[in-house]
Amino acid sequence: MIRDAKRHMLQAPARAAGETEDRCDAASGGQDASSDEHDGNRIGALSHELAAVKGVLDVTLNNVEQGIMMIDADHYVRLYNKKFVDLLEIPKKVLTDPLHFQQIIEFQWSIGEFGGVSEDIASWIRSGGIFKSPPVYERRRPNGTVLEVRTTMLEDGGAVRTFSDVTDRCKKEEALKRAELEYRSLFENAVVGIYRSTVDGRQLRANPALVQLNGYASEDEMLVNVNDIGREWYVDPKRRDQFLDEMRSKGRVTDFVSEVYRHKTREKIWVSETAWCVRSEDGKPVVFEGTVLDASARMHSEAKIAFMAHHDMLTGLPNRAYLTQRIESALCDIRSSGRFAVHYLDLDRFKEINDTLGHAAGDTLLRLAGRRLKKCVRASDIVARLGGDEFAVIQLDVHDDAEAEELAARMVRSLSTPYRIGSHYANVGASVGIAIAPGDGHDVQALIKNADIALYEAKAGGRRTHRRFHASMEAGLQERRQIEVDLRGALARREFIVEFQPVISLASGETEGFEALIRWQRPERGQVAPSVFIPIAEEIGIIESIGEWVLREAARQVACLPGTPFVAVNLSPFQFRSRGIVKTIMSAIAAAGLPPSRLVLEITENVLLRDDKSTRDALNHLRQLGAKIALDDFGAGHSSLHYLSKFKFDKFKIDRSFIAAFENDRAASAVVRAVIHMGRDLGVSVVAEGVETQKQLDGLKALGCHAAQGFFLAEPRAIDDWIATMETTNDEPAAPLNSRSEGEANRRRFGERRATPS
Ligand code: C2E
Ligand code: MG
Ligand code: MG
């Protein structure tokens, strides 16, 4: 409201309304009448003009957006407008005339107008109000509106104050501030790297995550050091060109994975970038912005998954899928790169190692076998593990068959060398089947199948050997499959028989006992040797029932013999997997009425390979019950003297390979001598296996060997053949050793009473 006082705005500043009028009156006091009239007219005109101006001012002041108030040097309010009253919500009763500024302040204090202001503002309001205030300040009113208060000091000591409602602007600023804070927080705390760079590759901003990813301590350090992202960052500089191409064509890249250098350390890492181009209004690229993620772990796991899809995890060698692919591509390239061989390998008796030494040892052996194979081949050849104990090798660029056979022989030799696993030595052999492309197969399946057929043939041929595929072998494979089928039913069809080979005391020439040896009478095929079908029975899991049958049969038959000969029964390592082995054995001999003291159980070192307490317990239990335990084929297997300290044997049976070489080979005869001496020292009786000549017999006798077994003395035969002999030897002089003519000669040379079939 512009009151009378407002008029003074157009005049020289005055202290108060009354004073101004006085001054006007005083100014007109000393003039004559005409001039009075003239002056009167002039004044009238001026008043009129003034009123017009006042009107304009009134309208203007009351229509501006700001509240306006003017005070004089004595702090009397000389002018204010409607907006001033509205903005400050000053009630009419406060707006007295005259109106002192202090009245307004007091009113405002009384209604808590300054409740929300800072202590700073409050203190200068208290101490002097308008004249102590800064030229511009903002304060929030109790109703939430924010006023910008501007004070302009006037020369006469008064002041003009304007009030603007800046609530909206403040809200916008606050929102902006909040947003800025939020974005800053995101930028600072994001775990992904965030950047802005120039289009030509200069880094402009980098958040802490990106700074850290690049090995720097601060953003400043990074910005100073990164000048050309394209040249300095990507391991493959062409990658930057691809990045720029995509940016140009699509305006952004998404999950753009590249290998880059960690800027500071130059260590190679993988990153995934998602970036976009920020353009000016006219569409020109201004900057690139984007996020960067460390993708190293992802790339490594992707590489690992890809590796896993094509590799065997145990040995790290390529797997069957990879082998198949490589054979396929070798077949495609056959014109340019020539013939190639597929070798299919299988470890002999690996299962035994797994069963006796445990799976961890089996795994170690497979890893060692893989390494050995890699050493046998050229870098361009491929060694794969197909699963279990099966491996395959692709030998590229094979000029002639001999080359492939040489490699196969080399691999067999290498794989057959004993493996050291912890404190054990494990012995496995290997068999290899070879198929050479393109002759032995025009596609992957045919090649693998034919190499597999050749492998079967190698196994059937006595293992530790290799065979080259031949079309006729398919029949052989079918034969082996047929053996498996027939073997499964052999026990039920009563196709097994047991033969007995006498074990003869070298001191007395008497038959101490018999070794029971199983034979399979295969209908229409004749007799099959145990060395052929026992490993198959072990492989197909029927050895336990066959072993039990042999025990019962052998005990029953030997129990019928006169005298008290022992019966020696061979036990497969697989039979020790059964917890009830002691019970099975004892019930078998009990059923036959054979005392345990007449039972010898022959085991090979394989049984003891695994330091298995339950096996040792079973053997000790059997010994306690009176059975004797013989170490069969001594010297042929792992031959760790360690076993001898672990278990007390009753007999050592020297492997027949030493006896065969005994006459001519000094090393073999040294072994035989050592075993006999060792037996003597340990109180273990020693039996020589496979004695075939008089000379061997004489030599063994001279060395003090306790007993012998062999074709020269007696071949394995049915028990009936021995019943008569045993009866004869009880009261008659020595009969012929065996039915062959040389038996007579042997008898004369041996010159002792001995077992003889009737
Ligand atoms: P082994 O326990 O070492 O048995 C001795 C093998 O040597 C027998 O072969 C026997 O016929 C043979 N032999 C005996 N004297 C001579 C000789 O003067 N010269 C030659 N060259 N050989 C001789 P066989 O019966 O073929 O048995 C082979 C292997 O089969 C046995 O070796 C044994 O390990 C295993 N075997 C035999 N019967 C059984 C059985 O019932 N159960 C188990 N688990 N294995 C058995
Ligand atoms: Mg034996
Ligand atoms: Mg033997």
Quick one: pLDDT at residue 16?
37
Q: What is the pLDDT of residues 375-419, one digit of tens each?
A: 999 999 999 999 999 999 999 999 999 999 999 999 999 999 999
Pairing of strands 429-437, 466-468: parallel
Residue 174, φ and ψ in degrees, nearest 5: -65, -45
Express each pLDDT in 690-714 by its tens digit: 999 999 999 999 999 999 999 999 9
Q: Which of 417, 539, 509 is nearest to 746 (CA)?
A: 509
pLDDT at 748 over 90: no
CA 720, 724, 730, 732 torsion: positive or negative?
negative
Q: What separation in Å is there between the alpha carbon of 718 and the centre of ligand 2?
A: 16
Output the average pLDDT for the chain: 86
User: pLDDT tens digit string along 492-516?
Assistant: 999 999 999 999 999 999 999 999 9
CA atoms within 13 A on the CB side of 331: 21
Summarised one tens digit per residue, pLDDT across range 418-446 is: 999 888 888 899 999 999 999 999 899 99
Q: Quick one: average pLDDT of 166-191?
A: 90
Torsion of CA 627, 633, 635, 638, to 10 degrees: -80
With contact defined as beta carbons under 8 Å apart, do 504 and 512 qualify? Answer: yes
Distance CA 632, CA 451 (A): 35
pLDDT surpasses 90 at 750: no
CA distances from 501 to 200, 322, 547, 709 (A): 94, 52, 18, 7
| Per-residue pLDDT at 374 exceeds 50 | yes
Count CA within 13 A, CB hemisphere, residue 679. Answer: 24
Q: Which residues pair with 136 in a beta bridge?
A: 150
Q: Is the preceding peptide bond at 535 cis, omega within 30 degrees of 0?
A: no
* CA of 515 relative to ligand 3 center, distance in Å: 10
Q: Minimum mean pLDDT among 29-33, 34-38, 182-186, 451-455: which range? A: 29-33
- For residue 497, the ligand closest to its alpha carbon is 1
CA pair distance 515, 653, nearest whole angstrom: 11
Supply the pLDDT for residue 609.
67
* Cβ–ligand 1 contact at 529 (below 6 Å): yes
Residue 572 predicted with pLDDT over 60: yes
Q: Quick one: pLDDT at residue 557?
A: 96
Predicted local confidence at residue 478, as pLDDT: 79
**491: which DSSP letter?**
T
* CA–CA distances in Å: residue 474 to residues 112, 348, 426, 467, 754: 109, 21, 33, 13, 48
Mean pLDDT, residues 553-581: 92
Non-local (6+) Cβ contacts of 110 within 8 A are: none
- Residue from 688, 741, 738 nearest 710 by CA: 688
Taking every pair of Cα atoms in the chain, the longest distance, rounded to a whole number of angstroms, is 194
Is the shortest distance between the CB of 570 and ligand 1 below 6 Å? yes
463: left (phi over 0), alpha (psi -120 to 50) or beta: left
Mean pLDDT of 242-262: 93
Distances (CA, A) of 525 to 479, 482, 485, 520: 11, 12, 14, 10
Cα of 567 from ligand 2 centre, angstroms: 11
116-130, 142-156, 294-308, 330-344: segment of lowest average pLDDT: 116-130
* b/e 473-498 (16+ beta carbons within 10 angstroms → b): beebbeeeeebeebbeebbeeebbeb
Q: What is the pLDDT of residues 350-368, one digit of tens each?
A: 888 888 788 999 999 999 9
More confident residue, 754 or 128: 128
748: how many CB neighbours lie within 10 A of its CB? Answer: 11
- Two tokens, residue 584: 């099975």
Task: Answer for the pair 700, 691: CB distance below 8 angstroms, yes or no.
Answer: yes
CA of 347 to the centre of ligand 2 (A): 23
- Residue scoring higher pLDDT (108 or 733): 108
Instruction: Kindly report the number of other CB atoms within 10 A of residue 55's CB atom.
Output: 11
**Index of the ligand 1 atom closest to the CA of residue 571:** 44
| The two three-digit tokens of residue 198, written as one number | 């120039």
Task: Report the pLDDT value the prediction gives residue 117, as an integer from 0 to 100.
Answer: 83
Check pLDDT > 70 for residue 7: no
CA-to-CA separations, 105 to 77, 95, 126, 146, 214, in angstroms, rounded: 12, 12, 9, 18, 61
Cβ–Cβ < 8 Å for 370, 383: yes
For the segment 558-565, the average pLDDT, to the nearest whole number, is 92
- How would residue 481 be classed by pLDDT, with cut points 50, 70 and 90? confident
- To the nearest 10 degrees (0 to 180), the angle between helices 741-750 and 694-703 is 30
**Ligand 1 pocket check for 656: Cβ under 6 Å:** yes
Query: In this predicted model, which residue has the larger pLDDT, 91 or 131?
Result: 91
3-state secondary structure at position 215? coil
Closest ligand 1 atom to residue 550 Cα is 41
Q: What is the pTM of this model?
A: 0.53
Residue 716 near ligand 1, beta carbon < 6 Å: yes
Nearest to residue 135, comparing CAs of 108, 158, 162? Answer: 162
Q: Is 56's pLDDT higher than 90?
A: no
What ligand is nearest to the CA atom of residue 552?
Answer: 1
DSSP character for 234? B
Most confident of 355-364, 552-561, 723-732, 736-745: 552-561
> How confident is the model over 657-682, as a mean pLDDT?
91
668 has a pLDDT exceeding 50:
yes
Q: What per-residue confidence (pLDDT) applies to 732?
A: 45
Q: Does the beta carbon of 534 lie inside 6 Å of ligand 1?
A: yes
Q: Tokens representing 48?
A: 């009129």
Distance (angstroms) between ligand 3 centre and the Cα of 57 equals 132
Of 148-162, 304-318, 473-487, 719-733, which gets the smallest average pLDDT? 719-733
Query: CA-CA distance, 630 to 622, in Å (whole number)?
Result: 12
Tens-digit pLDDT profile for residues 85-102: 999 999 999 999 899 999
Q: Which of 517, 543, 544 to mutate to test the pocket of ligand 1 (most atoms within 8 A of CB)?
A: 517
Exposed, middle or buried: residue 579 (CB in 10 Å: 0-12, 13-18, 19+)?
exposed
Q: Give the model's pLDDT for residue 495.
A: 97
441, 344 contact by CB (below 8 A): no
The phi and psi torsions of 249 (rounded to 5 degrees) equal -80, -40
- Distance in angstroms (rounded) separating the CA atoms of residues 61 and 531: 123
Distance from Cα 573 to the centre of ligand 2, integer Å: 13
Of all atoms in ligand 1, which is nearest to the CA of residue 499?
25
- Check pocket membership of 632 for ligand 1, CB cut-off 6 A: yes
3 state SS of 197: strand
With H, G, I as helix, E, B as strand and everything else as coil, classify residue 521. Answer: strand
Q: Is 254 helix (H, G, I), strand (E, B) or coil?
A: strand
Which atom belonging to ligand 1 lies closest to the Cα atom of 712?
Answer: 18
Nearest-angstrom CA–CA distance, 248 and 228: 18
602 lines ligand 1 (CB under 6 A): yes
**What residues are paired with 500 via a beta bridge?**
516, 717
The beta strands (E) that lie in 186-333 are given as: 193-198, 203-206, 252-261, 268-279, 285-294
- What value does the mean pLDDT take over residues 253-259? 94
Residue 269: the pLDDT is 94
pLDDT at 234 over 50: yes
Work out the pLDDT band at 756, boundaries 50, 70, 90: very low
- For residues 352 and 573, the answer to whether their CB atoms sit within 8 Å is yes
The confidence score (pLDDT) of residue 335 equals 79
For residue range 23-51, what is the model confidence (pLDDT) as tens digits? 333 333 444 556 666 777 777 778 888 88
Place of tokens 């017999």: 697
Counting ligand 1 atoms within 8 A of each CB, the residue from 491, 570, 746 with the most, and so the one to mutate, is 570
pLDDT tens digit sequence for 299-353: 988 888 888 889 999 999 999 999 999 999 999 988 777 899 999 999 988 888 8
Please report, to the nearest 10 degrees, the dihedral formed by the alpha carbons of residues 388, 390, 394, 400 taken in order: 180
Predicted confidence (pLDDT) at residue 549 exceeds the cutoff of 90: yes
Average of per-residue pLDDT across 220-240: 90
Q: For residue 319, what pLDDT is reported?
A: 95
DSSP annotation string for 10-65: GSS--S-HHHHHHHHHHHHTT--HHHHHHHHHHHHHHHHHHHHHHHHHHHHHHHSS
pLDDT at residue number 686: 97
Q: Is 635 in the pocket of ligand 1 (CB under 6 A)?
A: no
pLDDT at 727: 67
CB count in 10 Å sphere of residue 178: 10
592 vs 557: CA distance, rounded Å = 8
Q: Residue of the nearest CA to atom 27 in ligand 1?
A: 530
> Tokens 């006169």 — which residue?
562
- Cis status, amide bond into 523, omega within 30 of 0: no
Q: What is the pLDDT of residue 27?
A: 36
What number of CA atoms fall less than 13 Å from residue 334's CA on the CB side? 15
